[in-house]
Structure 1
């Protein structure tokens, strides 16, 4: 297997950790020095930190699931495009449980060294999530191309 193929295979294991909450897989594929650049300050690193984040998300969103839409790798980096789904059943970032079903997309970048993930960056559609759980209200009326531009 090439380095790129190995990197992609290992990055896919990160979704397996999230969906299965498998500590054995986390310790096999997440390096002790793993850094999650997306995590809030004070979040532990390493396999237990990654697994802890996955467990927390699974506790906040019942039936939480990552479903891979697309993925690719180049050398030591892989990108995973996924859809997150679940039901909001516990407090999340100060927002009480709503029971709302959620579905939104993520992009994750993983860097792999010596067969383990050492770094992670993520980009999520957080605004869509906040809209779905009622934390944000927007006027989403359709755009009308005939509207006059606003002048300053």
Structure 2
């Protein structure tokens, strides 16, 4: 049986991940209430001074991270995350998740294509006093950019036949 800190960490990280999508898919894009509900979740579970690792171009803190969630939610209004693996030990949880969505609005200069995108990521979050205080993420950004049409070519050949030391 795991200790109380481990169980609290697992519960908070799982709840945050799943509840971020409580309003998805967005059936009425004109309903802005989802943003308020998302911010309430951030206020409850994310420390205002959260340290973010692996989120390029994003300032530290809960507000910039929330703004990124809002942008992604608006651009991919049917986005849904599947938790593939979730483990916790003490104050840290590690999660492998898969996110699927439809490209509905312009992203990084790419007009909406209506295509489905699917990415997988590995995330570690540290919880302290009931709030997520640190977040690491790594995801297959090249595959995501390829699915959006922002890079072209066969990226599946990258790295094949090369030894990694």
Instruction: For 1:128 and 1:99, locate their aligned partners in 2 and report how far apart those are by CA, in whole Å.
Output: 17
In the other structure, the counterpart of 1:8 is 10
Structure 1 ranges of 4+ moved more than 4 A: none
* Cα-to-partner distance string for 1:46-88 (whole Å, 9 max, x where unaligned): 2x33322211111111301111111001111111111111111
Contact in 2 for aligned 1:18/1:66 (Cα 8 Å):
no
In the other structure, the counterpart of 2:42 is 26
Please, what TM-score do these two structures have when normalized by structure 2?
0.76
Out of 86, 90, 105, the position equivalent to 1:75 is 90
Structure 1, unmatched stretches of 5+, are 143-152
Instruction: For 2:14 and 2:118, locate their aligned partners in 1 and report how far apart those are by CA, in whole Å.
Output: 20
> Cα RMSD between the aligned structures?
2.1
Size of the aligned set, in residue pairs, is: 141
In the other structure, the counterpart of 2:133 is 118
Please, what TM-score do these two structures have when normalized by structure 1?
0.81
TM-aligned CA deviation for residue 42 of structure 1: 4.9
TM-aligned CA deviation for residue 127 of structure 1: 1.6
The structure-2 alpha-carbon separation of the partners of 1:33 and 1:141, relative to structure 1 and needing over 3 Å to count, comes to closer
In the other structure, the counterpart of 2:61 is 45
1:36 is aligned to 2:38: no
More strand by share: 1
* Cα-to-partner distance string for 1:8-61 (whole Å, 9 max, x where unaligned): 111112213431353222111101111222333453512x33322211111111
Instruction: For 2:131 and 2:147, locate their aligned partners in 1 and report how far apart those are by CA, in whole Å.
Output: 35
Structure 2, unmatched stretches of 5+, are 23-33, 158-165
Instruction: For 1:6 and 1:43, locate their aligned partners in 2 and report how far apart those are by CA, in whole Å.
Output: 27
Contact in 2 for aligned 1:80/1:109 (Cα 8 Å):
yes
Contact in 1 for aligned 2:94/2:124 (Cα 8 Å):
yes
